[in-house]
Amino acid sequence: MPFYGFASLFISSYLWYTISWNVDSGYDRFDIKYVIVCIFRWGFPRKNRHVFLQFLIKYIFNPSE
């Protein structure tokens, strides 16, 4: 039983840290004028905390090109 108590303590602390640091929050932007898709996400606190990706829409709908 103590194992389950310690395991639940570690899992709950991990979940509270991810909530307080806003891990995996962000936005998606579909810009038809410039024909791009932008994806922005926050990660865990470290040197490179954010992820920013840009794609052309034609590569999403036709990936073979």
* pLDDT in the model for residue 41: 93
Q: Does 33 map to a domain?
A: yes
Q: Round the average pLDDT of the chain to a whole number and report it.
A: 90
CA distance 61 to 63: 6
The C-alpha atoms of residue 6 and residue 11 are separated, in whole angstroms, by 9
Token code pair at residue 17? 């840290």
Domain count, the chain: 1
For the segment 2-30, what is each residue's pLDDT rounded down to a tens digit? Answer: 899 999 999 999 999 999 999 889 999 99
Domain span at 34: 23-65
For residue 18, CA distances in Å to 25, 33, 64 come to: 10, 35, 37
In a domain, 2, yes or no: no
Query: Is the residue at 52 inside a domain?
Result: yes
pLDDT of residue 65: 60
Classify residue 60: in a domain, yes or no.
Answer: yes
* Residue 28, both tokens: 């998606």
The verdict on residue 53 lying in a domain is yes
Q: For the chain, what percent of residues have pLDDT higher than 90?
A: 58
Q: Is residue 61 part of a domain?
A: yes
Could you tell me if residue 44 is inside a domain?
yes
